[in-house]
Structure 1
Amino acid sequence: MTEFQPGKITTFEFPSDILNRNITLSVYLPKDYTELFKHKVVICFDGRDFFSFGQVHRKYEKLRKEEKIEKAIFIGFHYQTVDDRRREFHPQGDKAPQTVRAVTQELLPFIDNTFATYKVGHGRVLLGDSLAGSIALLTALSYPRIFSQVGVLSPQYAEPINQLVERCQFKEQLSIWHAVGLEEQKFNLPTTGAEADFLTPNRALHELLDKHNITTHYQEFEGGHQWKSWQGLLEDLLIYFLSDDISF
């Protein structure tokens, strides 16, 4: 049985029947973690990048020390290969629906049964960059009462997102933090080398969300489609979602 230690990142294999494979997960429990208090849950798609390049756990501890945010645990969802990431995270990926179901029906029950968590939609945050941002958005739009908080860094925008926004019956429960870089109009895709424009589609995505009166925080930053630019946004993102305690 996997043991989780406060202040440490624990990486392990989580079996998924829905995806028909083991998902590599990383769990970070805060230094002051105790089962006596409930915690918000932050699920990071592209988890390895959020921990390694974004240092999201270190930024969390800094903000906690400054008493700017509430208690939270972090779950990193890692992809296997670049091809698998596209199949499982892209809005048009053939396994994207299974990823949404795996997170909702398998991963979330494990988290809530293992740790002291708030078992409500606004106590859970989904984060993702690029394609990982797309799957975070797809998951929240599919299950807004289960995952009502989502932060996306330059997500890839495609037609299925339009359909989910149109069909979403509980849009008023969603809160979306959304950022894209001004230098992302010309980005060379690492897989093919082809040039892609992320800025224009993300502006269109913002207009779509605004049109449907979905609560959003939108910003355009000086930077490109890379962690060198994104990591500087994480403190503001964490404060946005974790600054308010949950009360009943």
Structure 2
Amino acid sequence: MGKVTKYFHSNIFNKSFEYHLLKPDHPINDANILYVQDGNDYLELGEFEEAYRSCELASMTNWIIIFIHPGTSEERWQSYHHKGQLFNKYIDFMYEEFMPSVEQELDVKRISKKGLLGDSLAANISLHIAARKPEHWTHLLLQSAAIMKQDIACIAGLKEAIPWNVYQTVGIYEDEFVSPITNERLFIYTRNRELHEVFQRKKVNVHFSEMAENHLWEFWKRDLPSALLFFLKS
């Protein structure tokens, strides 16, 4: 399992995105694919490769993990927040350009599991990517999703049955977090409890945990092995 760095030129954005792949060196017939938003942060701050090696994933030979990053902090907010000017464009980019191209290049015959992993606003965009075409996804791994009532309403408005396995974790002190971009208090803990209630009403298979944590990468790094094991076992 080796990491490969590549570049993808988007016509939608008229720019190139750097992305990374963790995948086996041999061909894969039946793959489990995980798309990681905030990909560079997960590799550097979240120490994703260390988390991967620390759990049972290291013995799996059919996993492909794709790390994509939106750019600067400003580009991230514009792409990942539903009020951002690039929000819908980013979802279009994922479905119309990036995912089809990457999966064609991977040349796998079958995808058994297909998931999204994200922290904070990266969890929000993961939620909305999945909501665009719910049937395309089996797993969502959401760490401290920075969501608002409009985002929750989007999920509540989906058809009754959503075929997802969801790992949702949040810190009980995260209502205090204030966005460095908008200076808004985001009430992340409260909103995640509301989203969890929607998941339950939709009969989603959801693993929800509240921890005595703040909105910090140290929290998500410690939690990451559990999220990956959920993807492996559910």
Q: Quick check: TM above 0.5? A: yes
Partner of 2:2: 7
Partner of 2:151: 161
In the TM superposition, 1:87-126 aligns within 5 A as: 87-117=78-108, 119-120=110-111, 123-126=113-116
In the TM superposition, 1:160-179 aligns within 5 A as: 160-169=150-159, 171-179=161-169
* Contact 2:176/2:186 (<8 A) preserved: yes
Partner of 1:141: 131
Alpha-carbon distance between aligned partners in 1 of 2:152 and 2:36, rounded to the nearest angstrom: 23
- How far residue 119 of structure 1 moved from its aligned partner, in angstroms, is 4.3
Which of the residues 15, 19, 25 maps onto 1:25?
Answer: 19
* Contact 1:41/1:117 (<8 A) preserved: no
In the TM superposition, 1:62-101 aligns within 5 A as: 62-64=54-56, 67=59, 71-101=62-92
Q: Residue 209 in 1 paired to residue 199 in 2?
A: yes
Q: Residue 46 in 1 paired to residue 38 in 2?
A: yes
User: Over the residues paired in the alignment, what is the CA RMSD in angstroms?
Assistant: 2.3
Partner of 1:238: 228
Aligned length: 234
User: Which residue identity is paired with 1:16?
Assistant: S
- How far residue 152 of structure 1 moved from its aligned partner, in angstroms, is 0.7
Q: Residue 151 in 1 paired to residue 146 in 2?
A: no
Describe the SS at the equivalent of 1:12.
strand
Structure 2 runs not aligned, ≥5 long:
none
Describe the SS at the equivalent of 1:39.
strand
- How far residue 52 of structure 1 moved from its aligned partner, in angstroms, is 0.8
Change (3 A) 1:66 1:40: closer
1:1-25 superposed Cα distances (whole Å, 9 cap, x missing partner)? xxxxx423x3332111223322221
Change (3 A) 1:148 1:85: same
1:38-95 superposed Cα distances (whole Å, 9 cap, x missing partner)? 321111100001111112223223324774x563111111121111111110123232
Describe the SS at the equivalent of 1:206.
helix
1:178-203 superposed Cα distances (whole Å, 9 cap, x missing partner)? 11011212124333555443111111
Alpha-carbon distance between aligned partners in 2 of 1:193 and 1:223, rounded to the nearest angstrom: 21
User: Which residue identity is paired with 1:81?
Assistant: T
Alpha-carbon distance between aligned partners in 2 of 1:190 and 1:161, rounded to the nearest angstrom: 20
